[in-house]
Each structure stands twice: as C-alpha cells, then as structure tokens.
Amino acid sequence: RDEAAWWESAVIYEIALISFQDSNGDGRGDLAGLLSRIDYLKWLGVGAVWLTPIYKSPFRDLGYDISDYCSIDPAYGSLEGFDRLLEALHGAGIRLILDLVPNHTANDHAWFVESASSRNSAKADWYVWADPAENGGPPNNWLSRFGGSGWEWCEARRQYYYHSFLVEQPDLNWRNPQVRAAIADAMRFWLDRGVDGFRVDASAVLIKDRLLRDNPANPQAEGKPPPQRQTPVFTDDRPETMDCIEFIREVIDAYPGRMLCGEVQGKTDRIGHFYGNDRPRLHLPLNFALLDSKWDAFSLQATIDAYLNAIPDDGWPVWIIGGHDKQRIASKIGEAQMRVLAMLLMTLRGTPFFFMGDEIGRKRVPIPPDRVRDPFEKLVPGYGLCRDPERAPMRWDDSPDGGFTTGRPWLPLEPSDGAANIAAEQRDERSILALFRALMTLRREHAGLQRGGYEPLRSQNDVLAYKRRDGRNEILVALNLAAEPRKFHWQGRGRLLMSTQLDRPPEPVPDASILLRGNEGVIIALEPR
C-alpha cells in the first residue's frame, strides 16, 4: 500500500463555507473567515478539509450551481485569498479538498447560454438536449430529484434540456469529449494551485440512457416524495458512468498525492463498483450507511458488516456521520449516544468524515418558514426534505449570532440559550468536542486504530464490540448502545485507554470484563498474548 495515501489516515472535516465564519459582516461565511479559524482546525486535529463549492454561482443550491469553474465567488473572496488560505492550511498540516460538480452547471454559465442559443452553436452538444415527444411534451418520464419533470423547454432550440436537479442546473453531456476536456481543464486549474483532491458531486448520474427509455415506476413508491416514485434505472448509475469517473481519476493521477472521493448514490451493494478494477475510479466512494442504520448494536453490526463485505479487498473504507444534505444525527440519536458515535467513527477501519458542528453534537436548527433558503423545501414540500436545519451557521460562542457574523446571518442560528457552542465546549474538558479531539489524538498515536485490521466480536446484549489489530498489538472497542449499564466480557488482559465520558483514569482492567455505564464506550489496549 502506498504510504503517501494520506487520505487513509487523515480525518476529513466538511465545511459549508457560507456557514463557517463571516469576516466582513455580510452574513455569509467566506475564505478570510475560514483563514481566521485555521487555529481551531489545527487544535481539533483534522487532517483535511472538504469545502462545498466556492466558485462563482447564483447560489440557488448552496453553490452547486456553478457559473464559472475557475473562479471564486466574489462573496467568498478572490483567487489571491484562496491561495493565501491554501498556503496557510498546508502550513498547519491540513489538506484541502474542493467540490467538483461535473454533472451540471448553472444556467447562466457561458457554456449553457451558448448551447441554448441555437442548435448550430459551437457548444450545441454540450448539454443533454432532446426533441419533444410526438405530443410536444417532454421526451420521456424522467424526473428531477428536486421535483417535477427533469425536462425543460427551450424556445430558441425548440428542444428540451435535461436537469437532474433544479431547472437552473442543466446537465452537461458527458458523452461529448469537449465537455470532458473542459472539466479536466477546470480540475487542473485547481490542482496546479495545489489543492489536494476533489469530492465529485453526484458522480453516479453523469451519463443517462442514450435511448432515453422511460424509468419504471418504483414498486415501493408509497409514502415516498414524488421524485422517488420512479426507479431511476435509466438515469442513475449507468455502466457508461464508470468510464467518466475513470477519466476524472486519470486527471487526478497525473498529480501525485491527490485524492478523489465521490458522492455515489444507491445501496451499499453498489458501492464496490466505484473503487474500480483494472482502471481505478474513486479512492474513496463516500459511504453514508451509518446515517441510515437503525441505532442498536445488532443493526449497527449488520450495517458495518454489509458495507465492509461490499467493498473490494484492497478498497479503503469510509465512514460518514454528517453532511450538508443529511439530517443531523445528534437529533436522531441524542447527545449521550453522540459520544458513542464519535468513538465508533474514530475507531472503525477507514477514513472518518464529519460535518462542521458534529463535533459539538450540533442538532438540527429550526428554520422559520420565511427564512428557508433550500429550494428542495419549496419544490417538494411536506416531506421534511429541507436541508437548511443542518446548514445553519456555526455557533462559535453563546452570543445571539454565535460569533459567526456581525451582520444578519444568511440562515438563522438556534437560540443561544443552552445551545452547544465551540467556546463553551473548549472550556469543558469532558465535552463532546473534547472527546472528538481526544479520539483524534489517540488515533494518531495508535497505528492500529488507523491501519490495523478489523475484527468484529459478537455483540453482547446492547454492546457493539470489535478489535483492531496491528501486528501483536490489539485494541478493543466496546460501545454500550443502551442507556443502562451493561457488563462486557472478553478474553485476555488489558489497559483502559479512554472512556467516552473522559473520566476514567488509564488503568489496567485485569479481569477481562468491564462494567460499562449507560451510553458509555471504552477503548482498551489488550496485552499481547
């Protein structure tokens, strides 16, 4: 295994820049704000930051609608500011991953404006265009993920274009080599500046069926939001998409030490494909299984096993506990279990990802209807799909706007009273934040926790347990998923390294058993047998 694969040992921290730290009082986070918080990131101990899109954008979808791939949105700063930030991050030993959005642009991107102007334009074939059906309606039944038909009429061409997401996010035509070359150029623009890799957005939908066949109805449609009432067999995860991902990987591979991770939709059993075989694809296909799992020892064990069994032997695992599209898990499992989750995340075999705020156990922030920004909520109302509650600005302290801005925040924060915040948790040596930090420190100190093998132990009555093995050194992790105490037994002797409560002294545990308090997890170094 290549020792330069830093992404196998680093912890990766996702930042939605607009909500991290505002430096100029416009209520939106920016590059200079992030620059001012590098000390925090270093203190926390993350190895890399993944930034959601920072490029020029009309910002209808958190910047996932890009108007110019080789620019910084003026609200965020400038290219010089970006270079300064990158240098400072690297100086602090932190790598930077940018979001690459190859599937679609904003509709005000010059490429689309030209493509939509006429069927004879030089970029006529840069997007997914199709003639109307015989009745003049859309070419087929494909839906947008954000609601309604995925097809939008363009009068100038008297044709429809396809948009997997918003009407204002037309899909690029990945069958066109010019499009591939243009995205490759954009990647090289950032790679040349020194970025350490990309997270490929919506990487499973780059190619749609050439024959435009209708998607079948979803047999499990009942109760699902309208966009999920068909099975996207002709729009998602087409075999030709793998070739696009391989192409993107080749661009990355011309730059040693850079990493490609990607958002892949679908079930665990499809994840293995995204690693690639003879031609490599993603270093790290992102895995959201922990977020979807039922929260008990038995279900978690099954979730973990299913995922590890689904990836190739030489594929490196990924574990994610939060993200800008995902409901805050602290709201689902509660504060006490959030500590257990932190220990799980940092001790499983694979690269941990978490989202800004997860480290203080941030919960979903209620957003009053008149402040909602996510288009998803308006387009598919009534299903709780709004992603703003996770995207609310960081709460650095207990002031009303959390130390995030001196202006009016673009999304409101929760009331400061009693809300988790960074400053308070930095003062409290047993806070969740302290736990995240201690776990990351332990992870750096114990090779076994990073690269060691993973050996599940049979879950005993609410305790999820496994070993990590590095040569003769074994580390045992035992997590009590119950709110009541549970006794846990194992073979051999050990020394306690850490409890999720951060209140047990590092001491020998001689009799091969330990009484775990409710919601407590422990890490134990086993004596070599």
The residue range among 20-28, 57-65, 300-308, 340-348 that interacts with ligand TEU, by the rule CB under 6 A, is 57-65
Which pair of tokens denotes residue 327?
């409901």
Which pair of tokens denotes residue 160?
């429809």
Q: Please give the residues from 107 up to 146 whose contact with ligand TEU meets the rule CB under 6 A.
A: 145
Which pair of tokens denotes residue 132?
């109307």
Residue labelled with tokens 């800004």: 356
CB of 374 to ligand TEU, least distance (A): 8
The residue range among 60-68, 106-114, 417-425, 521-529 that interacts with ligand TEU, by the rule CB under 6 A, is 60-68
CB of 324 to ligand TEU, least distance (A): 6
Which pair of tokens denotes residue 397?
């302290």
Q: Which amino acid is at 398?
A: D
Q: What is the CA radius of gyration of the chain?
A: 24
Residue with smaller CB distance to ligand TEU, 263 or 359 = 263
Q: Is 62 in the site for ligand TEU (CB under 6 A)?
A: yes
**9, 176, 265, 501: residue in contact with ligand TEU (rule CB under 6 A):** 265
Answer for the pair 21, 35: CB distance below 8 angstroms, yes or no: no
d(CA 141, CA 376) in angstroms, rounded, equals 20
Q: What are the backbone dihedrals phi and psi of residue 509, each rounded to the nearest 5 degrees, phi first?
A: -120, 90
- 503 catalytic? Reply is no
d(CA 322, CA 436) in angstroms, rounded, equals 14
**55, 76, 165, 488: residue in contact with ligand TEU (rule CB under 6 A):** 165
Q: Which of 30, 263, 425, 474 is catalytic?
A: 263
Residue with smaller CB distance to ligand TEU, 165 or 190 = 165
Residue labelled with tokens 């790679």: 191
Bridge-partner residues for 516, per DSSP? 486
CB of 512 to ligand TEU, least distance (A): 45
d(CA 472, CA 526) in angstroms, rounded, equals 10
Residue with smaller CB distance to ligand TEU, 289 or 432 = 289
Q: Which of 22, 168, 201, 425 is catalytic?
A: 201
Q: What are the backbone dihedrals phi and psi of residue 419, each rounded to the nearest 5 degrees, phi first?
A: -75, 145
Q: Is 231 in the site for ligand TEU (CB under 6 A)?
A: no
Q: Please give the residues from 452 up to 471 whose contact with ligand TEU meets the rule CB under 6 A.
A: none
The residue range among 17-25, 59-67, 347-355, 399-407 that interacts with ligand TEU, by the rule CB under 6 A, is 59-67
3-state class (DSSP) for residue 514: strand
CB of 52 to ligand TEU, least distance (A): 7
Residue labelled with tokens 């642009």: 105
Quick count: other Cβ atoms within 10 Å of Cβ 467? 19
Residue with smaller CB distance to ligand TEU, 144 or 301 = 144
- 263 catalytic? Reply is yes
d(CA 449, CA 164) in angstroms, rounded, equals 40
Burial of 372 (0-12, 13-18, 19+ CB in 10 A): middle
d(CA 429, CA 341) in angstroms, rounded, equals 18
What are the respective helix, strand and coil percentages of the chain, to the nearest 5?
A: 30, 20, 50
d(CA 527, CA 253) in angstroms, rounded, equals 42
Stretch 379-418: interaction string toward ligand TEU, x if CB under 6 A: --------x-------------------------------
**61, 377, 425, 520: residue in contact with ligand TEU (rule CB under 6 A):** 61
Total binding residues for ligand TEU by CB under 6 A? 13
Q: Is 288 in the site for ligand TEU (CB under 6 A)?
A: no
CB of 323 to ligand TEU, least distance (A): 7
Q: Is 73 in the site for ligand TEU (CB under 6 A)?
A: no
CB of 206 to ligand TEU, least distance (A): 12
**22, 201, 388, 520: residue in contact with ligand TEU (rule CB under 6 A):** 201
CB of 147 to ligand TEU, least distance (A): 11
d(CA 85, CA 102) in angstroms, rounded, equals 24
Q: Is 325 in the site for ligand TEU (CB under 6 A)?
A: yes
CB of 202 to ligand TEU, least distance (A): 4
Q: What is the largest CA-CA distance in the chain?
A: 79
Residue with smaller CB distance to ligand TEU, 32 or 291 = 291
Where does this chain bind ligand TEU (CB under 6 A)? 61-62, 64, 101, 145, 165, 201-202, 263, 265, 324-325, 387
Residues annotated as catalytic are 201, 263
